[in-house]
Structure 1
Amino acid sequence: MTDSTTPAATTGDAQAEGAQTTAAQAATAPPAAAAQATPRKKTDASSLAAAGPSKPGAAQPRGPYYVDFRARTAASYGHAFLWYGKSSEREVEVAGLHPATDSPVPYVLGHVMPVPSETGASYGDLDEEYLLANYRVYLSDQDAPKVFAYIQKLQKTTPFWNATTTNCTWFIGQVASFMGLKTPWHMMYPEDYVNELKKINGGRDVATLTSGQ
């Protein structure tokens, strides 16, 4: 993925309106948490800038690395995805599971059958104005490489998206589970899933892998 991300379309954008129509056509399908029809633009996640540097006097991160479980708006149910990287750097990596291509067709078909997926950044993942919920968990120098390698392995081994099985909340839940966090049922709206993930883990902001990982 080589193109840089641009801000997501607004509600009035013609493409977004078309995606909303598509979502309405799929309304008879189960309300899958992962479904999202927002137009996407491929990005090189390794070169994306996240939030700016910490303000003077701000609390220091609890660990040198982090995974941020996030949910944003979309034309349908919303979308759940991950930011991860080094706490002291602006650049972030983005991972998330969603239907491949910008066409709404795979999204619609994905409510009844598995469809080819993409697992990198999707259109709008870097726009804070579309953020609905987030839960950031910090990692040590020892644990971060293992977690990041697991995320990348999951990206390579999840070739299909389906609204009720391998969806976006399922994807971030796999990572949370690997980090030793409790996970809610994946058939929740992305915003609800991220908020529930934080709630059932007591808001803990540091994860430590077990000795066997």
Structure 2
Amino acid sequence: MPGRKYFASLMVCLSLFMVSCQGDDKPPLPRYISTYQNSSDSPAIASRRPERRYFIEFRSRYALTYGHSYVIFGQLGANGQAITREVAGLAPATNDPLPYVLGHFIPVPAETGESDGDLEEEYRSASWRVVLTRAEYEKVVAHIRMLKAKSKVWLASVSNCNAFVADIARSMGYKAPSIYLRPQQFITKLRELNGG
């Protein structure tokens, strides 16, 4: 019976997903800054150069559940601080816990912008900032906009926040870790895989 096989497969996938998200998060990790594609400039020098005044920051934050991963991107000022910033991530399109729970079994409507806690420093658990030129930045932002437009559902086992961030990282030529890691572990491993 096709319905039973589908249900059994869904349960196996869900079990694997839930097992992979077990464990505790560490205290907040240091903030790391790199230049795109392993440029020869040090990040401190690169962020002061006029052609490197843009950034994308891969982030994770604590939450009541296993956390959340997302990106922040924008323009840097002369002091290396963000003067503009925008958030992109994938999450259920509500603060109601019911769609979140259902999203572990069936696709639920998603949002792709800022969610509660994304910009609050006390919730940041890991981050990796990559300093970009204008051309690099425009290419990444075009991909993020396309990804936001097509990401309509959240499903914990397939289309989760880590999968969204991994898609962005791969569009930049980076290797992406398993989407089944906890967000803090995911962002840390993303940085480590790519020499950040």
**What amino acid does structure 1 have at the position aligned with 2:44?**
A
Number of equivalenced pairs: 154
Q: Which runs of 5+ in 2 are unaligned?
A: 1-13, 22-42
Aligned-partner Cα distance in 1 for 2:142–2:19: 28
Query: Take 1:70 and 1:200, find their aligned partners in 2: how far apart are those partners?
Result: 15
1:120 aligns to what?
A: 113
Partner of 2:100: 107
1:31 and 2:24 aligned: no
Q: Residues 191 and 164 from structure 1, CA distance in 2 versus in 1: closer, same or farther, beyond 3 angstroms?
A: same
Mapping 1:83-94, distance limit 5 Å: 83-88=72-77, 89-94=82-87
Gaps of 5+ in 1: 1-26, 35-57, 204-213
Q: Superposition RMSD on alpha carbons, in Å?
A: 2.1
Q: Quick check: which one's helix share is greater? A: 2
For residues 118 and 16 of structure 2, what CA distance do their matches in structure 1 show? 25
Q: Which residue of structure 1 aligns with residue 166 of structure 2? A: 173
Q: Would you say the 8 A contact 1:33–1:168 is kept in 2?
A: no
- Which residue pairs with 1:163 in the alignment? 156
Write out the 4+ residue segments of structure 1 that deviate beyond 4 Å after TM superposition: none
Per the alignment, residue 67 of structure 1 pairs with 56
Alpha-carbon distance between aligned partners in 1 of 2:148 and 2:20, rounded to the nearest angstrom? 19
> What amino acid maps onto 1:166 in structure 2?
S
Give the match's secondary structure for 1:142: helix
Please name the residue that 1:209 is paired with: none
The alpha-carbon deviation at position 59 of structure 1 amounts to 3.3
How does the TM-score come out when normalised to structure 2? 0.73
- Kindly indicate whether the alpha-carbon contact (under 8 Å) linking 1:32 and 1:77 is maintained by their aligned counterparts in 2: no
Structure 2: which amino acid aligns with 1:31?
M
Structure ID, larger Rg: 2
Determine if contact 2:59/2:128 at 8 Å carries over to the other structure: yes
Say whether the 8 Å CA contact 1:184–1:196 is kept in structure 2: yes
